């Protein structure tokens, strides 16, 4: 299954702005109502984008409901869920501690049953906890086409730093087994992550990474990223192509379209004009680089 | 290779551990936590040697340096023990529950010539570093007022308690959240000298403060306001900002965006009269491994480099963090 060339992101809907807290608040006001999100998704669809890559934020459940109610309109529409919505858990850990957070979010009476047998057998059940958390996050997408399921960068990169290769592999395997979906990994450390996934036997993984002309959030350096794209086998999605606004859209898109081995480009925008402009730029530079290899 | 141990694998500890795990000059020789569940997970899935008793870890792993990320009430005794063993220490903020505890630790670290650092990561944020440069250059003239703020959604309804909701253990918005802002003010402008008035409000918590408002004066004579609230869900995550007024202009900065206003054309290179906006993307040096923000990797890299003797042990020393502890005590005392 090939991913679409252009994927639509959701940061703008949830006040995620990497360069300005003020803009972040303005976005929060603008997208207060779900109708505003749906309207922007419509603009993206009109521009030919059929894939929405989004965090498992509580509000996405409402969007999923709208999508389920209009099967004809959304028949080709796909969602790539990105889990978990990390701030939910991070704030919970500050308040409740790690155990308290697990108690709160691991569904059902699983946790109770875990303790019945004492703590000793916990160690072999961490992966079951992970599977239950994945299932909890996936609930809202029932009946919706989710061909790729992503692990958010906070978790991917944490596991990478902790050397927890087996958990990354387990995520990959479970998503395939249970949801018949490809696993994707979002990261700010693409070359190092690819090494670890390959060591774990994951072939040709989908990796979504910050890739931009100024080297913003490209840990290990821009050169290493370019070399990795040139020489290694994986399916790259470029995100943060505008580097938080440090590069002009034209320059930004020209750079990314000129790179080898980028299967998809992820971007988010609030207005119809910005969506259309970005899509046109990608089409324009894709043509330039496919006709002049 | 610097041999590093970690005590306390909670929220901050796990993050430090991942950063150390990815650091090319650090070897994690031991991780210790009292939670069996956390330790078993690390034992099973990470390459690090794991312990539930830190004394055992120190004995067996013989670390050159230790990162301490346990509840604040344990900082003073644990750090003292480490320093006495000749171990370099990075300890999470706030430094100590009581200012007097810090004095001994500062002396001990100095006399033993040990690297000492506290986790006030804002000093490694590009925008705040640029604010410091501007202020050092006297770019906005004589400073006459500041406003330090932080808001976030930590406690947004009444809920069950952890150590962060226990005042005896270093919980509460003042210790946990406001300490970051106070430390930033100490660093950018001058240490807090006195607190005219303060108000610590419990909004949802039963035992601790959820918001802190205070009027303070600094050692350099400048006065200003502190406004911090961790029960503010209009912010998606913690946002920390400072606004500084001077006779020649004004600086408004958070961790993402720096705005500087200059009254006239005589301003530093790269700036002009009127408003100037710079983004953290332009001001931040890249890191080798990224998790949650460049500043977390940068502060740990600084600690490792200080141990290696590659950089001076200047940023976030025990001495500077003790000044923040002192300000926290003054704010408590000034409550109306």
Q: Which of residues 47-86 of A touch B (CB under 8 A)?
A: none
Q: Does B257 contact chain A (CB < 8 Å)?
A: yes
- Residues across chain B: 336
- pLDDT for B268 beyond 80: yes
**What separation in angstroms does the CA of A149 have from each of A67, A106, A197, B324?**
18, 19, 16, 44
Q: What are A170's strand-pairing partners?
A: none
pLDDT at B109: 98
pLDDT at B144: 98
Residues B256, A21: C-beta atoms closer than 8 Å: yes
Rounded CA gap, B253 and B237, in Å? 16
pLDDT tens track for B167-220: 777 789 999 999 999 999 999 999 999 999 999 999 999 889 999 999 999 999
Least CB–CB distance from B281: residue in A126, A188, A243: A243
- pLDDT for A109 beyond 50: no
CA A285, distance to chain mean position in Å, is 24
ipTM: 0.93
CATH no., domain B122-285+317-333: 3.30.360.10
B130: closest CA among B242, B264, B37, B20? B242
Residues A20, B256: C-beta atoms closer than 8 Å: yes
> What is the full DSSP assignment across A7-39?
EE--GGGGT--SS-HHHHHHHHHHTSSHHHHHH
Torsion A280-A281-A284-A290 (CA) sign: negative
The ranges assigned to domains in chain A are 30-291
- pLDDT for A119 beyond 50: no
pLDDT at B71: 93
pLDDT tens track for B51-73: 999 999 999 999 999 999 999 99
pLDDT at A106: 63
The residues, any chain, with a CB within 8 Å of residue A23's CB and separated by 6 or more, are: A17
Lowest mean pLDDT among A95-99, A181-185, A233-237, B331-335: A95-99
Domain A30-291 matching CATH 3.20.20.70: the answer reads no
Strands B2-7, B26-32: pairing kind: parallel
pLDDT at B160: 60
Strands B116-118, B88-91: pairing kind: parallel
CA B5, distance to chain mean position in Å, is 20
Three-state SS for A268? coil
Residues A122, B36: C-beta atoms closer than 8 Å: yes
CATH of B2-119, one of 3.40.50.720, 3.40.630.30, 3.40.1110.10, 3.40.1190.20: 3.40.50.720
Q: Output the six-digit token pair for A208.
A: 């979504």
Rounded CA gap, A80 and A145, in Å? 8
Residues A216, B281: C-beta atoms closer than 8 Å: yes
- pLDDT for A292 beyond 80: no
The ranges assigned to domains in chain B are 2-119, 122-285+317-333
Least CB–CB distance from A91: residue in B35, B154, B256: B154
**Whole-number mean pLDDT of chain A?**
88
Q: Output the six-digit token pair for B148.
A: 């330090």
The shortest C-alpha distance from A85 to chain B (Å) reads 11
**H-helix segments, chain A:** 21-30, 34-46, 60-69, 86-105, 110-116, 126-138, 153-161, 165-179, 190-199, 222-231, 249-257, 272-291
A2: burial class by Cβ within 10 Å (0-12, 13-18, 19+)? Answer: exposed
Residue B265: other Cβ atoms inside 10 A: 9
The shortest C-alpha distance from B200 to chain A (Å) reads 19
pLDDT tens track for A51-68: 999 999 889 999 999 999
Return the higher-pLDDT residue of B285 and A95: B285
Rounded CA gap, B65 and B85, in Å? 10
pLDDT tens track for B209-260: 999 999 999 999 999 999 999 999 998 889 999 999 999 999 999 999 999 9
């Amino acid at each position: 299954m090939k991913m679409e060339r252009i994927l639509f992101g959701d940061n703008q809907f949830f006040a995620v702005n990497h360069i300005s807290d003020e803009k972040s608040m303005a976005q929060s006001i603008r997208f207060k109502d779900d109708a505003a999100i749906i309207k922007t998704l419509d603009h993206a669809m009109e521009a030919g984008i059929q894939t929405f890559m989004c965090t498992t934020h509580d509000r996405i459940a409402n969007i999923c409901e709208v999508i389920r109610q209009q099967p004809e309109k959304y028949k080709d529409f796909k969602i790539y869920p990105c889990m978990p919505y990390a701030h939910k858990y991070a704030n919970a850990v500050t308040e409740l501690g790690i155990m308290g957070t697990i108690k709160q979010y691991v569904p059902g009476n699983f946790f109770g049953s875990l303790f019945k047998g004492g703590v000793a057998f916990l160690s072999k059940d961490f992966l079951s906890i992970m599977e239950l958390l994945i299932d909890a996050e996936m609930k809202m997408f029932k009946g919706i086409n989710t061909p790729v399921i992503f692990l958010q960068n906070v978790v991917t990169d944490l596991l990478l730093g902790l050397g927890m290769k087996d958990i990354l592999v387990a995520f990959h395997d479970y998503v395939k087994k249970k949801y018949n979906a490809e696993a994707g990994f979002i990261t700010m450390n693409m070359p190092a992550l690819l090494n670890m996934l390959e060591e774990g036997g994951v072939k040709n993984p989908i990796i979504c990474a910050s890739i931009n002309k100024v080297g913003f959030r490209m840990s290990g350096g821009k050169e290493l990223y370019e070399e990795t794209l040139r020489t290694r086998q994986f399916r790259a999605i470029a995100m943060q192509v505008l580097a938080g606004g440090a590069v002009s859209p034209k320059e930004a898109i020209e750079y990314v379209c000129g790179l080898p081995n980028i299967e998809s480009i992820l971007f988010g925008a609030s207005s119809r004009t910005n969506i259309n402009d970005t899509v046109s730029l990608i089409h324009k530079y894709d043509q330039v680089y496919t006709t002049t290899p | 290779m610097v041999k590093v141990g970690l005590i306390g694998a909670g929220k901050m500890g796990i993050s430090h551990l991942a950063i150390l795990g990815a650091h090319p000059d650090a070897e994690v020789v031991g991780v210790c936590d009292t939670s069996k569940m956390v330790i078993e997970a690390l034992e099973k899935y990470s390459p690090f040697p794991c312990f539930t008793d830190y004394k055992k870890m120190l004995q067996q792993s013989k670390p050159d340096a230790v990162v301490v990320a346990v509840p604040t009430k344990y900082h003073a005794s644990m750090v003292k023990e480490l320093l006495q063993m000749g171990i370099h220490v990075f300890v999470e903020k706030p430094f100590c529950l009581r200012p007097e505890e810090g004095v001994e630790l500062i002396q001990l670290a100095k006399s033993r010539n040990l690297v000492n650092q506290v986790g006030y990561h804002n000093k490694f944020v590009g925008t705040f570093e640029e604010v410091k440069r501007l202020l050092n250059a006297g770019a906005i003239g004589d400073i006459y007022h500041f406003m330090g703020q932080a808001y976030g959604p930590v406690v947004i309804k009444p809920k069950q308690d952890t150590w962060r909701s226990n005042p005896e253990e270093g919980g509460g918005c003042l210790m946990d959240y406001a300490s970051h802002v106070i430390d930033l003010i100490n660093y950018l402008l001058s240490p807090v000298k006195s607190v005219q008035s303060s108000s610590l409000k419990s909004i949802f918590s039963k035992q601790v403060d959820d918001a802190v408002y205070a009027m303070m004066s600094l050692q350099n004579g400048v006065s200003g306001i502190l406004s911090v609230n961790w029960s503010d869900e209009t912010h998606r995550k913690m946002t920390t900002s400072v606004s500084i007024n001077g006779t020649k202009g004004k600086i408004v900065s958070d961790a993402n965006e720096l705005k500087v206003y200059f009254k006239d054309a005589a301003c530093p290179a790269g700036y002009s009269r009127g408003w100037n906006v710079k983004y953290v993307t332009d001001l931040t040096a890249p890191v080798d491994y990224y998790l949650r923000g460049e500043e977390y990797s940068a502060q740990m890299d600084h600690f490792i480099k200080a141990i290696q003797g590659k950089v001076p042990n200047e940023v976030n020393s025990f001495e500077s963090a003790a000044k923040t502890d002192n300000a926290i005590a003054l704010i408590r005392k000034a409550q109306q």
